Amino acid sequence: MHEWTKDSLLMIGCSLTRQLQRPAHSTLFPLPHSPSKAPPCALPLCPSLSSIAAARHRHHPMASSPIFVGLPTFLLLLLLATSGLFGQATGAVAPGPESAPLNLTGILEKGGQYGTFLRLLKETQVGEQIESQLNNSFNGLTIFAPTDNAFNNLKPGTLNSLTTQEQVSLVLYHVLPRYYTLSTFETTSNPVNTQASGSSGVYTVNITSSSNQVNVSTGVNETPVNNILHLDFPLAMYSVDKVLLPPELFGAKPPATSPPPAVAPEKPNKGTPAADGPSASAEAAPSAASPEGRSAERVLLLWIGLACMGSLL
């Protein structure tokens, strides 16, 4: 659609005024012409409306009527009004500035005391995962960032004793899957899931709020929420003075059950032969079925026979 400019509107207005300056016989409505009077004088290229009315009144008295004087004014105002509407309709709306993606590393570096947490975010690659989720999230995220002093207060070797997957779970345990302000903490229902919870319902925290003080409890330790590092949707980040220790990693483990002691076999007494084994005398005596047993039986029978013969004699 054609966009009207000030120059084009000025030319149209001047053209309309020239039409009004023509003799009466050339207009749409014939006007009486007085031959005794001089022809209309030449007017400037774009005269004012008052000069047009005065000239028309000198040469054509009827031209000074309200109809002829108001017509060019009405047309000019109509063109100006419509051109403004056209300009608004056809003018391109400049797009607003696009919001820059959140820089999680920049926010923590600006705080100046979160070097260990930054290192864990980088080594576990959880930082890239969080930034990607923040730029494509409808619920936002809340992060509890432990200070370097919080990590220094852990027992020596605590982080090194964890596996890579356990370190990932520890970092995700400090991230809530929603955007929480200090006021929304007051209406939170416990337990609260973390990014490490998954669908198993573990790795949860309890959040309590009273007198503008928010505390986070894990079941192993508890810490207050201190400074606000960032509070603009979709990211809320708070500073904490303790590392949140999940009971799944740092809770008291039940003692390992020892296997029952092995029962030693009973040793038979020296004076009593075993119930299921052959006796010593039986082992020493030859069996009747053996050749030695048969020879002994014959000797015995021979002695019995001799004794009987001796008694008869």
pLDDT band at 176 (very low <50, low <70, confident <90, very high): very high
Q: What is the mean pLDDT of residues 272-278?
A: 50
Rounded CA gap, 246 and 149, in Å?
A: 19
Write out pLDDT tens, residues 16-39.
Answer: 666 655 554 444 445 555 555 545
Q: What is the mean pLDDT of residues 168-181?
A: 96
Write out pLDDT tens, residues 26-82.
Answer: 444 455 555 555 455 444 444 555 555 555 555 555 544 554 445 556 566 666 655
What is residue 165's predicted lDDT score, i.e. its pLDDT?
95
DSSP the chain: -PPP-HHHHHHHHHHHHHHHHS-GGGSSS-----TTSPPPPP--SS--HHHHHHHHHHH-GGGGSHHHHHHHHHHHHHHHHHHHHHHHHHSPPPPPPPPPPP-HHHHHHHHSS-HHHHHHHHHTTHHHHHHHHHTT-SS-EEEEEE-HHHHHTSPTTTTTTS-HHHHHHHHHTTEESS---TTGGGGPPSSEE-TTTTTTT-SEEEEEEETTEEEEE-SS-EEEEEEEEEEETTEEEEEESS----HHHHSPPPPPPPPPPPPPPPPPPSSS--SSS--HHHHHSPPTTSHHHHHHHHHHHHHHHHHHHHHH-
Among 103-117, 187-201, 230-244, 295-309, whose mean pLDDT is lowest? 295-309
Rounded CA gap, 220 and 252, in Å?
A: 9
Asked if 245 and 218 touch (Cβ cutoff 8 Å), the reply is yes
> What is this structure's pTM?
0.54
Rounded CA gap, 246 and 252, in Å?
A: 11
As to burial, measured by CB atoms within 10 angstroms (0-12 exposed, 13-18 middle, 19+ buried), residue 195 is buried
Task: Say what percent of the chain tops pLDDT 70.
Answer: 53
Rounded CA gap, 266 and 243, in Å?
A: 57
- Which of 72-81, 107-116, 130-139 has the highest mean predicted lDDT (pLDDT)? 107-116
Mean pLDDT of the chain: 75
Distances (CA, A) of 177 to 100, 134, 142: 21, 10, 7
Least Cα distance to 207 among 181, 233, 172, 230 occurs for 181
Q: What is the mean pLDDT of residues 271-299?
A: 56
Q: Is residue 125 predicted with pLDDT exceeding 80? A: yes
What is residue 282's predicted lDDT score, i.e. its pLDDT?
44
Q: Considering only the C-alpha atoms of the chain, give the largest distance between any 2 of them, rounded to a whole number of Å.
A: 216
Q: Is residue 85 predicted with pLDDT exceeding 80? A: no
Token pair listed for 48: 């004012």
pLDDT band at 307 (very low <50, low <70, confident <90, very high): confident
- For 18, phi and psi rounded to 5 degrees? -65, -35
Token pair listed for 268: 């038979």
pLDDT band at 107 (very low <50, low <70, confident <90, very high): very high
Q: Is residue 91 predicted with pLDDT exceeding 60? A: no
